[in-house]
Structure formats: C-alpha cells, structure tokens
Amino acid sequence: MGLKEQITDDMKAAMRAKDAGKLGTIRMLTAAIKQKEVDERVVVSDEQVLAIIEKMIKQRKDSIAQFEAGARQDLADIEKAELAVLTAYMPAALSEAEVAAEVSAATAGASGPQDMGKVMAVLKARLAGRADMTRVSAMVKAALTPKA
C-alpha cells in the first residue's frame, strides 16, 4: 500500500474514532497532496508525498518556535500535536553515525567547497526524509572545508 493510501485509511480511522485533532491534520495533508496533483497535473509518488510532509513538518517547527517566542503556548501546543501526526508518516530517521558515513562516502571524490552542490544533490536523493538536511549540509560543509 502506498503512502497516499495509508493517509486516506488513517483519515477514515480518525473519522470513526472522532479524533478531531488528528483528522484535521490529515485533512490538511491530503489537501496539500491534492493541490500538488492539481497544480502539476500528475499523480504524486511516495517520494513526492514525503517531500510534502517534510515541508509541512518544517513549517510546524518554525511556527512552534515563533509561538513560543511570542508566549503563545496554546498555539504552540496545537502545532506540536500536528507535528506528531505528520512525523508518524516519515521513515525512520538515520542515526548520527549513519549520516556521517553517508556524508563521508559522498564527499570522497569531492575536491573542495565548490563541489558542495553536487555532493548535496547526491545526499538529498539518498537521505530524503530520513535525515535533517540542514544538519547534513553543515556536515558536508565541514567535510569539504580545507583544514588549515
């Protein structure tokens, strides 16, 4: 079963369980998926669904930081609940050591900081949805920077 079908099944289960919070989040996710399908006139793949979920997770994290900075814990709690529902659809995250191994393998043939884009393109394909790409980017930058 694809990820899109799993999301639809979870939406039906949330309706039956009358879980309003989870249902609202899943409906928001299905709307984002449908919007991408309509805009691009395609049927989204699991990788595209993961990219949509990743984007929504990043938005939730940014919102939580803003709400907590503004002393709006009530709104931050809502965002945290949505974040928990969304992260359930992401594949298992890689450990720090696994990410470091992938980074060192990808940077093996790189000649310096000018190859950062090429290395990140390779790593994005390999690690999509399984690692925080900002952290990966920092690791790649450190690996490609010449030691003085």
Residue among 13, 30, 10 nearest 88 (CA):
10
DSSP state at residue 41? T
Q: Is pLDDT at 19 greater than 80 in this prediction?
A: yes
* pLDDT (tens digit per residue) in 33-60: 999 999 999 888 888 888 899 899 999 9
The overall average pLDDT reported for the chain is 86
**Mean pLDDT, residues 15-25:** 93
The identity of residue 110, as a single letter, is: A
| pLDDT tens per residue across span 74-119 | 999 999 999 999 988 888 777 777 877 888 787 777 777 777 788 8
Mean pLDDT, range 12-33, rounded to an integer: 94
Q: What is the pLDDT of residue 75?
A: 93
Mean pLDDT in residue range 15-44: 93
Buried b (16+ CB within 10 A) or exposed e, 128-138: ebebbbeebbe
The whole-number pLDDT of residue 22 equals: 92
pLDDT of residue 94: 76
Could you give the CA distance from residue 133 to residue 102 in angstroms, rounded to a whole number?
12
Phi, psi of 45 (to 5 degrees): -90, 175
> What domains appear along the chain, each with residue ranges and CATH number?
3-87 (1.10.1510.10), 96-144 (1.10.10)
- Tell me how far apart the alpha carbons of residues 72 and 79 are, in angstroms, rounded to a whole number: 11
10 pLDDT higher than 70:
yes
- Is residue 69 exposed (0-12), middle (13-18) or buried (19+ Cβ within 10 Å)? exposed
